[in-house]
Amino acid sequence: MAQSQGIPNVELVVVGDDVSVPRSRGKMVGRRCLAGITMVCKIMGAASEEDASFEDLLKLGRSLASNIGSVCTALEHCHVPGRSEFASIPEGRIEIGLGLHNETGVMNVPLPSPESLIETMLDLILNQDDPERAFVPFAPEDVTVLMVNNQGGLSPLELGAVVDETLKQLKERGVEPERVLSGVFMGSMNMPGMSLSVMNVSNVAKDTGLSVDKIISLLDAPHTAPAWPATAGVYPLPEKLRNRPLSERLTEISPEETKESAPKGPALKADPELIRQILQKAAEDVVALEPELTHWDTLVGDGDCGETCAAGARGVLSHLDTLCASDLVSLFRELTEVIDDAMGGTLGAIFSIFLAGLTTSTMAAARQSPQPAVTPQLLGQLAMGGLETLQARTAARVGHRTVMDSLIPFAETLANSGDVKAAAQAARDGGEGTARLTAKLGRAAYVGDREDVDMPPDPGAMAFVAVAEAIAACSQ
């Protein structure tokens, strides 16, 4: 968004340090972010404090991101307060390759000895002969940094034992880290587990032209981050900040200050009563589906899809009386804002982008002279315009086990035939068909095909099925 507004010096540094997902499975979705990102932030932050140029910071950040390998393991998933259902690891087993968001591990194995577990984790990070997971090059003489991250549920004594065994095994491999960082850097609430991260400082030095000592000094630089291990270089908080009154520490921004005026243009008229019926039924049906969505997502994702979809639906219901249902341009624009505010996660972003694209295509239709009649087929064509915007920002397509498996068939069928009932059936066929697919994108891609559970349909796809069927039911 900042780039589209012409703001200079805006770029992405994408950190994907997880090495547990093999290349063949994660080649489309990319690697996940684990605790290694905190080292990236710490070093880049210190370099920024020293007034490094934007280009140098970008180069440094991207080199750091590509030279950290991490893997997470746990005895149990975290328990989210207020959620009654969550994935569970059977007693006597352990998962390796979990994500930060409660995603199921890549491997579910009988509980090994601590020594064997750490050996497996280090192999995933350091083994240069594994073509599927040798993401970071390591040579015997390379300078490294070790981070042992507490996922939230280990005692200091247990974490210390992990550090001790890890250092012992690294030394046997000829690796003696220049720095060892231990603590809760990026936790998952009460998850009884830990992650190991190894950063190759020598590679970063070669990429950036900085010396190894300089990079280590940036890692050691003074800071005010409470969770970072205390060092002699912790910044004292300046007195003028220490003594600020509470009113100066907190700033409230009213919604009116952030509200931007919408661009003016012609309206595309619609039946407001029908629109409100569709919105209400779709939202209520999604809320009712929340327990099933949550159950399915605990098996293949991080367990929050149901809550995410229900939050978006409740946002629509709360704005039902104020949405401009008589003008499709205003309606889709306002729905974009509602979903963007109410619905988090990747699925919320997908729907927001789709609605933004739908708004753009509807504005173009409204500017036509004469204006086209608002028919189901026109709405399908407008939805295809929204999909064009969305597909420019995601690689997800039909067959990838995502929401696109129901959204694309619905839009295509409606645009080609104008038959709302047939379009809803196409959405259901696509959504239910995801149970037979291997995920290519989304968090389910990290899990792969599991033999210990019957794979459910994709929760996001089935959430849109509820929306499509509500549209069909109200349109008859």
Q: What is the CATH number of the domain that holds 383?
A: 1.25.40.340
DSSP 187-248: --TTB-EEEEEEEEHHHHHHHH---HHHHHHHHTS----TTSPP-TTPPPPPHHHHT--HHH
- What confidence score (pLDDT) does residue 429 get? 97
Whether 242 and 278 map to the same domain: the answer is no
Q: Are 89 and 108 in contact (CB under 8 A)?
A: yes
Is the per-residue pLDDT at 256 higher than 90? Answer: no
- What confidence score (pLDDT) does residue 195 get? 96
Q: Confirm whether 204 is domain-assigned.
A: yes
Q: Are 193 and 75 in contact (CB under 8 A)?
A: yes
Whether 232 and 307 map to the same domain: the answer is no
Whether 241 and 332 map to the same domain: the answer is no
d(CA 106, CA 442): 14
pLDDT band per the 50, 70, 90 thresholds, residue 415: very high
Overall average pLDDT of the 417-443 stretch = 89
Overall average pLDDT of the 383-399 stretch = 93
Is the per-residue pLDDT at 250 higher than 90? Answer: no
Per-residue pLDDT reduced to its tens digit, 145-173: 999 999 999 999 999 999 999 999 999 99
What total of structural domains would you count in the chain? 2
Q: Tell me which residue has tokens 């199921």.
A: 104
Whether 229 and 308 map to the same domain: the answer is no
Instruction: Output the CA–CA distances (angstroms, integers) from residue 203 to 116, 137, 143, 212, 468, in the order listed.
Output: 28, 8, 9, 9, 51
Is the per-residue pLDDT at 302 higher than 80? Answer: no
- What confidence score (pLDDT) does residue 253 get? 60
Whether 116 and 227 map to the same domain: the answer is yes
Q: How many CB atoms lie within 10 A of CB 59?
A: 18
- What confidence score (pLDDT) does residue 234 get? 62
Overall average pLDDT of the 260-278 stretch = 86
| Kind and range of the H or E run holding 324 | none
Whether 451 and 308 map to the same domain: the answer is yes
Amino acid symbol at 293:
L
Whether 106 and 164 map to the same domain: the answer is yes
Is the per-residue pLDDT at 209 higher than 80? Answer: yes
Per-residue pLDDT reduced to its tens digit, 276-295: 999 999 999 999 999 999 99
Q: Tell me which residue has tokens 């709360």.
A: 318
Cis peptide before 370 (omega within 30 of 0): yes
Whether 172 and 298 map to the same domain: the answer is no
Q: Confirm whether 143 is domain-assigned.
A: yes
Whether 285 and 320 map to the same domain: the answer is yes
Whether 27 and 127 map to the same domain: the answer is yes
Q: Confirm whether 4 is domain-assigned.
A: no
Report the CATH number at residue 114. 3.30.1180.20
- What confidence score (pLDDT) does residue 422 get? 97
Which tops the pLDDT comparison, 11 or 363? Answer: 363
Whether 307 and 224 map to the same domain: the answer is no
Which residues are tagged catalytic?
101
Overall average pLDDT of the 41-51 stretch = 95
d(CA 299, CA 463): 16
Which tops the pLDDT comparison, 241 or 153? Answer: 153
Is the per-residue pLDDT at 233 higher than 70? Answer: no
- In sequence order, what are the residues at sequence separation of 6 or more whose Cβ sits closer than 8 angstroms to the Cβ of residue 138? 126, 128, 144, 175, 198, 200
d(CA 64, CA 395): 25
Q: Confirm whether 253 is domain-assigned.
A: no
Is the per-residue pLDDT at 83 higher than 90? Answer: no
Which tops the pLDDT comparison, 131 or 235? Answer: 131
d(CA 18, CA 223): 26
- What confidence score (pLDDT) does residue 452 get? 56
Q: Confirm whether 1 is domain-assigned.
A: no
pLDDT band per the 50, 70, 90 thresholds, residue 240: confident
Overall average pLDDT of the 116-144 stretch = 94
Q: Confirm whether 147 is domain-assigned.
A: yes
- Domain end, chosen from 246, 263, 285, is at 246
**In terms of residue numbers, what domain contains 211?**
10-79+87-246
Q: Confirm whether 263 is domain-assigned.
A: no
Whether 141 and 281 map to the same domain: the answer is no
Instruction: Output the CA–CA distances (angstroms, integers) from residue 274 to 281, 315, 360, in the order listed.
Output: 11, 19, 22
The first and second tokens of residue 453, run together, are 């559970």
Report the chain's mean pLDDT, rounded to a whole number.
Answer: 89
Q: Confirm whether 257 is domain-assigned.
A: no
| Kind and range of the H or E run holding 147 | strand 144-150
The first and second tokens of residue 285, run together, are 């049906």
